[in-house]
Chain A
């Protein structure tokens, strides 16, 4: 999918929230949904289980209106975090213009974070995409939990952010860092749009 369609004068930016199960990807989308004016947002499609776990994916379309003559839309997706839904993850990842990796800041979740990051890399490779070429931002969620339970953003940077991409501390449940993350990934996507081909 092309980011910019000059023929129909549309810009569609697909952003995928990736990360281990229960890291807070869907919470991010819910928070954004709550802040976007009704007229600007589509239905938040959430296929969840009884226990609130994402079964397939979440999808939130946001219409930013006409910008520079282009009908601009953001499509926010989340992937199911559980290990056994990898085929769905790969499917959702297809054609992503940017990826937000939502890490669970709890110290005991570090291995899951690392595993999910590796999974992201391999799934991108399945699509023939080098992870270094995709706009990527890290979000260290659940920073509101007690200090003794979580790793600091600096520690998480050391552990996960070896590519030095923009990272954001967040508390998605209360909204801290949610829009900052969205803004961060949007900037990266737009920067690539400006630097690269217009097609």
Chain B
């Protein structure tokens, strides 16, 4: 039923001149963005001026750009015929469905709608359906919609609602260009002035022009001699005054060999036309390119609307510079806040200032993720047999982040130095150039996510962490029951792992023993290295104490170190208050720190010590029940009874 598109009728073979430029530009736009630019596109012109050529060119160009498009070309008569056949077969609905599914519908010669009421309402329905579905419809006619006899007002308004353009008869220059191209296509060579003579004749349309050319081609082929301008005129029955442009006619009159100037004029006309109009091609090319990349090209289109804008290349350069800047801004914003990068100002060079402002806003809001604490240096981390596996793994991670142990999970009870080691790793990793180390407690991670959800800035929050070159989370077991955070961590984990960025976690127990964590998180945590830190051994404690008591010039008393290191504490952290007590006592009494003092403070005569120093003391005492009680855990300074009463009364 529909006619196949004739490959000869393409934009490449369409000679563009002043009379058809608008129609061709609109046609190209429609072919590139069907359904969005001018819908419907209504092209009208006298017969033989290229309507069908343009219609088919639109179809071919659209097909070339998007081969998946369903494109139909047909004349109105074919459409009417098909409709009648469908109605006769009881397939009216199927017919309608078929055409409503067409992406680009090209209907030729719609002037034949005149006085066909039933077809008008059918076409109205189809036009509405196609427009609603954003499918393109292009129509051609030999007259504008308003002049088609008895055309339904609604159709007139529909057709006029898109773009109505006309194609005028080609001017002399275009006629010369058409003739030259067609002669070239036919591999025909004519003597100088022949084609100009034909172009100068008052042919109403291109078809007649082609007819004249064909006669010359045929004559020349039969006679095997090159015809000249005079013979051409004679062959075509042209009158002298109508044969060439006015100027050239006078030229011939002025001198017998006046053709020379006529030929020169024709050549210069074509050459100059191309040269002057070359800027249009450059602008159109730029529009095509940037529209294709999704940028608004209003500024460039405005150039085309001018007759002859000055400094076109500068305008294009400036536009492209702005686009490049937009690209930079968009990329930057996409990293900081993907949600913001989709904003329209990043695609409109006219709104570069808005884009700059939006980027600046995102930049200020895009604080880096929390980093490691400077208080936990690796150098101050005490190492002993109880944690040497973890420390060795940490050193490997620092040396080759993301490559060796990823993730590294530091496991151990509270107070064994996991947080210290985690931060120490973070500090070391942060030394690398361009490093963005996210090091924080899991609780802070959860709180940040909640705040981001609350502020509708989850994308921004994600982007912040996705930029991280290393993620170190303390107390990962706190994720238990936090499904959303687990989900986010899961995605972040995968993303960072893919990019070989280091992940380090701490947990009180091996991943498998952590409750409330999703299996996918557990398996991922266990996928790298799980390094356990056990209760501090004597060597580690002694090392720790040595560091803690170190003073410039005076090494700590070895007996004191031995004594304190021998104290049965379950973590390094619980050694700290013990040490503080001894140090405070020494300071209060203004005596040197010795093992004897420590023993006195921690084991003997606590009440006297309290009285004498007015300080709370603690230590390990053997209770009457035979068990060991830690004085550190006991409250020695009860408030006065009166204070307590007032407190309770309140």
Contacts and interface: CB of A to CB of B under 8 A. Distances in A.
A192 to B, nearest CB: 8
Nearest to B307: A69
Interface string A113-146: 0000000000000000000000000000000000
Contact of A194 (B254, B258, B265, B274): B274
A37 interface: yes
Given A37-B258, A64-B268, A67-B173, A11 B276 contact: yes
Given A36-B251, A67-B173, A198 B311 contact: yes
B261 A68 contact: no
Interface in B262-320: 263-265, 267-269, 271-279, 307-314
Contact of B272 (A6, A7, A11): A11
Interface in A149-199: 175, 178-179, 182-183, 186-187, 190-191, 193-195, 197-199
Contact of A36 (B254, B263, B274, B308): B254
Given A69-B308, A183-B267, A190-B275, A35 B250 contact: no
Contacts of B279: 198
Contacts of B314: 197
A197 B257 contact: no
Contacts of A9: 307-308
B365 interface: no
Q: Which of A6, A37, A67 has the most CB of B within 10 A?
A: A37
Contacts of A65: 247
B278 A194 contact: yes
B59 to A, nearest CB: 30
Contact of B310 (A69, A70, A187, A199): A199
A54 to B, nearest CB: 23
Interface string B162-188: 000000000001000000000000000
A134 B216 CA distance: 40
Contacts of B310: 6-7, 198-199
Interface string A70-95: 10101000000000000000000000
Contacts of A195: 278
A43 B254 CA distance: 15
A68 B251 contact: no
Q: Which of A38, A67, A193, A197 has the most CB of B within 10 A?
A: A67
A35 B251 CA distance: 6
B273 A68 contact: yes
Given A6-B308, A179-B263, A35 B273 contact: no
Contacts of B276: 4, 11, 67-70, 193, 198
A24 B638 CA distance: 125
B596 interface: no
A2 to B, nearest CB: 10
A3 to B, nearest CB: 9
Q: Which of A4, A6, A40, A68 has the most CB of B within 10 A?
A: A68
A39 interface: yes
Interface in B224-259: 247-248, 250-251, 253-255, 257-258
A14 to B, nearest CB: 14
B48 to A, nearest CB: 24
A70 B279 CA distance: 14
B257 A175 contact: yes
Contact of A68 (B250, B263, B267, B277): B277
Given A72-B268, A198-B312, A191 B275 contact: yes
Interface residues of B, number: 36
B247 A39 contact: yes
Contacts of B273: 67-68
Given A67-B173, A187-B271, A199-B310, A38 B250 contact: yes
Contacts of B18: 68-69
Nearest to B272: A67
Interface string A19-39: 000000000000010111111
Nearest to B250: A37
B260 A175 contact: yes
Contacts of A37: 247-248, 250-251, 253-254, 258, 261
A37 B254 CA distance: 6
Contacts of B263: 179, 183
A17 to B, nearest CB: 16
Contacts of B308: 6, 9, 69-70, 198
A60 B479 CA distance: 92
A197 to B, nearest CB: 5
Contacts of B260: 35, 175, 178-179
A190 B248 CA distance: 21
Given A36-B261, A198-B312, A198-B313, A190 B272 contact: yes
A199 B311 contact: yes
A141 B552 CA distance: 102
B265 to A, nearest CB: 6
Given A35-B251, A198-B313, A183 B269 contact: no
Given A6-B310, A175-B260, A186 B271 contact: yes
B250 A39 contact: yes
Contacts of B268: 64, 67, 72, 74, 183, 186, 190
Given A37-B253, A64-B268, A69-B308, 9 more contacts: A35-B254, A35-B261, A37-B247, A68-B272, A68-B273, A72-B268, A187-B267, A190-B272, A191-B271
